[in-house]
Structures are given as C-alpha cells and as structure tokens.
Structure 1
C-alpha cells in the first residue's frame, strides 16, 4: 500500500475534525462588528486605568499600584451592562477582599494554610454581602494578590487605598466618558425589528402558499428574538443608569424611558406573534386558502416596520399609530374571512391582543388601544 493510499490514523482524523469545526465557527464579519462595538469600552478602560495609575503613582507616590489598575479594569469590564451600580458593586467586592486579606495578613502572616484561610474567608464574606457570584470571585482574586505579592512600601492598607482610588476613578469615568449606551440601545432595537420583519416575511409567504417549511422558519426566527429583547432591555437599563449619573446624557433620559416602554410592549407583541405563528404552523398544509390572513399579516408587518423607525425618528410615531389603527379596525373574522370555520376565525381573533400591544407601544393606554379594535 502506498503512502497516499494509507488511511489516516483515528487521532489524526479527530484532530482534523476539531480544526475544521474551530475554523468553521469563526465569523470574520461578526468578529469585526464585535471589535468595533467594543471600541468605546476599550477607550474608557484605557483612560480609567491610566488615570488610576497616575493618581496612585505620581500623586500618592506608590511605586507599583497594581491593585489600583486591576480594580479599575475589572470594575468596568467589557460587558454591555456598564451601569454605575454594577461598577460600584464590583469595586466594593474587590475592596472587601483586599481589606480582609490585609487584616488577616497582619494577624496570621503568610504561608500555605494562611492563603487557604484568607481565600476561604474572602469567598464566604463575598457571598454574604452579595448574591452575585462575580462579586465573591472578585473579592477572592484580589485577596490572593495581597497574600502572594511582596508587601508594598508605606505600611499596611496601602493596597486598600489603591483599590479605593481605582474604584472611584472607575465610577467617575463611567459618568464622564460614557460608552455611548444610547447608540448601543438603538443598534439592539434595529437588530430586533430586522429579525421580526424577516419572521413576518416568512410567515406571510407561508400563509399565502400553504408552505409549512416557511412557517417553521418564521417560528424559529420569532423564538430567536427573546435574547435580542433581553439584550435590548439590559442595554436600556444600563443607559438609563448612566444617564442619571452623567451630566452629558441626562437630557436623554426621557427618550430612554420612552424607548423602554416601547420595548416592553414590543416584547408582549412578539410573544403573541409566536403563539399565532405556532397556530398557523400546525394548521398549514391542508390546502385551505388563507390569503386574506396573509394580507392582514402584511399590513401589520408594514406598520411594525414604521414603529421601529419611530425609535429613531419620533415624527414617524403618528404614522405607525395610524397604520396599526387601520389594521385593528379590520380585526373582525366576519370581515376578513367571511364564512370561514372557527379555526380560521381564531387566527384573526388572536391578532387582537397583538395589535393592542403594538398600539400601546405607540403611547396609547390599554383602554385607548382596545377602543380602536373592530367590534365583534
């Protein structure tokens, strides 16, 4: 048997499969978008860490202010949730670990069992003060730095001072150099509405052509929107917290609160749309003509697209409300599918709460939105 014909060993074959999966899972476009989106956070962290080092080294005279820099970096982080409260909680957790370890270091000294004791105490105290596991881990990590690094010049609690400086600077930079949370919230909203629009398109084609596969695709897309809705909610909470603290963003608070209200009702609307899609997914394939329902879904889709545009252009909100009102006034089964069986009439009736939620997203209260529905 020649070398060319000789089969590869099983280990080599497994290795090749692992390499293919690893390379196939890397998306250059997603990586580039992720890197660009992290730009403001990276700039914020670099500025904050530099400021922490400058204050502790040049102003306070600490030779190696390692903990000041590390606390600043860990408190800010690259997570999308950059709320001042989260930054403060992280900084406090780190300071607890540092202060506790410095006290125990003075009492028991250094050594193997001392390290184990301090780590045990830091983890327990961290869990006591916060339900967040990250809080306890941050406290334990910093406590180990205190136990393992050489003692700094200047006596006890120098590292606690460095930690306090790092935490304070992280909070200040959060307000003075925010991460464009408003832009991130808009990007989350655009991504969500784009996915809902694609789901609508698949559902409309499925209803008009009696195509179960397209209905499956619509249902899959609608189910995938929940992480997008959760991300949008997290971003808006972070943006509002930063805007309350930052003098540069405080004027945007009303817009952020308005967007949060839209997100809440869009979340309810998408949940209703999932139920409708699920009902259609189990009904299609029977040859029934459902084109009037497809027309109704198409009108709703166009109105939802305008609602998404209104998040960036408030003048589009009345247009979205008018378009949704036009759909709501048609939601009478006897008008949409005259003489249709109960199963088809149910689809139209199931769209009524969907339209109520969407109309409330335009600023109407529940009674006002319900009053716009066709009487049945």
Structure 2
C-alpha cells in the first residue's frame, strides 16, 4: 500500500515542472514586453518631468504666481497629447482653460462655491466648449479647469487672469521641451509604427499564398480575417508619419529626417491602398478553395511574391535605401499572376489576379516610381495580351 501510495508522485512531478516552465515563460515574455514599453516611452517621461519643473519655476519664481497649478499641468498635458496633434492641442488647451476659468469665476462670483455650484460649473463649461466647436481635448480641459477653479484654487472677488497665464506658460514650455530640448526622433516614431503594419500585411499575404497552394481553407480564412483587422496598425502607421513630419518640421535637430520621412509618407498612402486590395484578394482566396476552382501553379507564388515585396519594403525603408528589390518582387508577382491568368482561372481566380496586379502597382508606386512609369512596368510584367484584354 505504501508503494502504491507513492506511485502518483513521479507522474505529478513532470506536470508540475511543465506548469512552472509555462509560467516562467509567460512571466519572462510579459517582463520583456513591459520593459520594451518603458524603453519606448523613457524620452516622453523625461520630457514631461523637465517641462513640468520648468513651467512651475517660470510661473512661480520668474512671474511670481503663488500657486501656479495650471503651469505644470498644462506642460504635461501637451506632452501627453497624441504626437502629431500637439500644436492643435496647445491651442485647445489654452482656450479650454480660458473657458473653464471664465465659467467657474463667473458662477463663483455670482452664487459662491459649493457642491451644487460645481454641478453647474462643469456642464456649463462643457456646453460652452462644444458650442465653440472644440474637440475632445478642449471639452475635457474646459471641464477640468472649471473643477479646479471651483475646488482647489482660492476664491477671489474678481476674475483671476494668473490661471490663464499659467496655462499658456505651461503649454509653451511643453512645446519648447518637445521642439528644442528633448525632441523625439521622428524616424524612430515612424519605424515603430510601420513595422507591425508591414509585418502583418507581408505575413498574411504569404500565408494566403501558402494556404492556396496547400488547399487549406481554414488557414486562408484566418489570414483573411487578420488582414481585415489590420486597420488599427495601419492607422497607427499613418498617424506616426504625420507625427514624425510635425517633429521634423518644428525641431531643428530633426530637420535631416525630412527626406526619409517623405519616403515613408508616400509609401503609407499606397500601402493603405495595398491593404484594401489585399483584403479583397484574401477573401477571394477563401472563395477559390470553397468553390474548388482551378488553381494554376503560378497563382500561389504570385501572392507570396507580394508578401515578400512588402517585407522587403520594410527593410529598405528602415535602411533609407532605394526600394529597388521591392519593385522587383512586386513585378515578379505580376508576372506570375499573368501566367496564372493565361493558364485559366475561375471567377474568383480572375479577381485574385486583378488584385495582385493592383497591389503590385501600389507597391511599385510606394517605391518611389512615377505613375506613368508604374503603369508601363506593371503592364510589361503582366504581358500585352492580358493588358489588352483588361482594357477591352
């Protein structure tokens, strides 16, 4: 009995070891992800601390305001705004503070302070901001300024312009820190956003091609769904390009980044089109497999060539090189698609061929080629007969 009682222990030990291994692996991955987020935002943290300290010093020591709460708050709000919107956010911040202060002071001077007065100040400040056509930043700042005026700041018998001045000082200090003292590297901003978007587009195109070659409808459907959900990454990429351009224009230390950023900006426009075409392509791949249409041998490689072209574009943009390899990969996709078309495809297959051509054109255009030259290159790669058929 004793031996029998001990027999489960060797079996339990491997299970426990497996659980511990998985737990350690997840903890390690989580730690790396969190460390990466900290590393990515360390400059922003330094900017916020420096801006808050400078804003307080100027308002308190230089201008002489006794309690310049709005100065450091405004500086931090500017730096925590979505990069690419900081000039607009500065204007909205100052206007929002002005609205909140004006509404708060007017009500306090008229009916005093208290709980029900606060319940009146906040909605009136929000209504005033909305009436002026402000965005969410202006509305939020108006409401929060009204709350601060009604609760934290000392009651006065007149309007208190120091608060508006403090907000303006904080906003300007935030911009100075952003532009002159600790400007972010715009290329780093763009690359961090571009890599996930390009990786998803490249990987899902390759998976769609592989799934078509293997006749695996489940994998094809999964790739199609992931492409459909990739708008968030692509939107982040476009926003990062805009933000990088703002920084490169305003920060003298980053002026040298304007040329590489222009290449990213042009690529982003055509990659957006490429993603839309790729979504149609991936859905039609699923339909080919569902309807059991013929799959010419050159059709799956054509889709995979598109994915490789996107992957190559990512590397060439990161290196600041001429995307010549991207063009070659995209034109290879067009040639393979032309072969598939001539071999014979069904209805869904013809749509896939058309989307391959459209996406190849987008990628060649994203590589910096003029529109007329793109049409010539893709037309030659596709073949005159197919081009003529499409035109008719």
TM-score between the two structures when normalised by the length of structure 1: 0.84
| Cα deviation 1:120-171 (Å, max 9, x = unaligned) | 3311221122341331121111111112124289983222222221122122
**More helix per residue:** 2
Q: Compared with structure 1, are the counterparts of its residues 164 and 100 closer, same or farther at alpha carbon in structure 2 (3 Å cutoff)?
A: farther
For 2:353, the equivalent position in structure 1 comes to: 348
Contact 1:337 1:344 in 2 (8 A): no
* Residue number among 215, 227, 233 corresponding to 1:228 in the alignment: 233
Q: Compared with structure 1, are the counterparts of its residues 134 and 314 closer, same or farther at alpha carbon in structure 2 (3 Å cutoff)?
A: closer
* Residue number among 168, 174, 183 corresponding to 1:170 in the alignment: 174
Q: Compared with structure 1, are the counterparts of its residues 105 and 327 closer, same or farther at alpha carbon in structure 2 (3 Å cutoff)?
A: same
SS in 2 for 1:50: helix
User: Which deviates the most, 320-329 or 186-195?
Assistant: 320-329
For 1:282, the equivalent position in structure 2 comes to: 287
> Shift in Å at residue 180 of structure 1?
2.8
> Shift in Å at residue 31 of structure 1?
3.1
User: Which deviates the most, 313-322 or 34-43?
Assistant: 313-322
> Shift in Å at residue 211 of structure 1?
0.3
For 2:390, the equivalent position in structure 1 comes to: none
* Residue number among 160, 163, 181 corresponding to 1:159 in the alignment: 163
Contact 2:294 2:346 in 1 (8 A): no
User: Which deviates the most, 39-48 or 118-127?
Assistant: 118-127
**Aligned pairs (5 A) from 1:264-283:** 264-283=269-288
> Shift in Å at residue 92 of structure 1?
2.9
> Shift in Å at residue 318 of structure 1?
2.0
Contact 1:99 1:157 in 2 (8 A): no
CA distance in 2, matches of 1:80, 1:31: 21
* Residue number among 256, 262, 282 corresponding to 1:257 in the alignment: 262
Contact 1:71 1:94 in 2 (8 A): no
* Residue number among 306, 309, 327 corresponding to 2:333 in the alignment: 327
Mind listing any 5+ residue stretches in structure 1 that lack a counterpart? 1-22
CA distance in 2, matches of 1:287, 1:369: 31
SS in 2 for 1:179: coil
SS in 2 for 1:63: coil
For 1:368, the equivalent position in structure 2 comes to: 373
Contact 1:48 1:72 in 2 (8 A): yes
Confirm whether residue 89 of structure 1 aligns to residue 92 of structure 2. yes
* Residue number among 22, 38, 45 corresponding to 2:41 in the alignment: 38
Number of corresponding residues? 352
> Shift in Å at residue 209 of structure 1?
0.7
Contact 1:193 1:308 in 2 (8 A): yes
| Cα deviation 1:264-288 (Å, max 9, x = unaligned) | 1011011101101101112215384
C-alpha RMSD of matched pairs (Å): 2.7
* Residue number among 303, 316, 320 corresponding to 1:297 in the alignment: 303
Contact 1:130 1:136 in 2 (8 A): no
SS in 2 for 1:244: helix
TM-score between the two structures when normalised by the length of structure 2: 0.81
Q: Compared with structure 1, are the counterparts of its residues 281 and 181 closer, same or farther at alpha carbon in structure 2 (3 Å cutoff)?
A: same
CA distance in 1, matches of 2:40, 2:358: 36
